[in-house]
Amino acid sequence: MTGRGSNFFERDVGGMLKLHSVMMNQRRNSPAAQRFAERRRREDDAPRLHDQVPNLVSLRLEIEDRSGVTGTKHNRCVVVDRAPALFLVPCADPRCADGEHDLTHSVMRALRARETSFRGEDGCMGSIGPSSCSRVLSFDAFAEYRS
């Protein structure tokens, strides 16, 4: 094994040199990476949207995440055939610890009622240092169903 900075080389069983990076392990174990992995695990374990709302054809969410007067907007088109029946949106502030918006209850309630348009809002429950995160996520949703 030879080293250079935070990288090192190692020969595998076949004699090939492999580069290992300590930085990759640090990123993989960072709090943000762990939150992402946990959210992904919850999405994988969730029931599928097409099983929960079989007549749903399409779903689009227009999401605005804001803090005070500033905010960001984006659209999320849901792939109904593969999507989990779980609507988690991470807090947009990278400094926020344990912040996410769980829209699942309000979205699923509206979809089960076959609403074609609905809206909702969720305050972040995370924290930035010793203070509560002040970000608020609002969304407008548009759904289409089979007859």
Confidence of residue 40 (pLDDT cuts 50, 70, 90): confident
Q: What are the residues facing 61 on neighbouring strands?
A: 76, 141
Residues 26, 29: Cα–Cα separation, whole Å:
5
Instruction: For residues 68-90, give the mean pLDDT.
Output: 91
Query: Mean pLDDT over residues 45-57, rounded?
Result: 94
Q: Nearest Cα to 144, choosing from 82, 48, 75, 78? A: 78
Query: For 83-132, how does the pLDDT look when each residue is reduced to its tens digit (9 = 90+)?
Result: 999 998 989 888 888 888 999 999 999 999 999 999 999 999 999 999 99
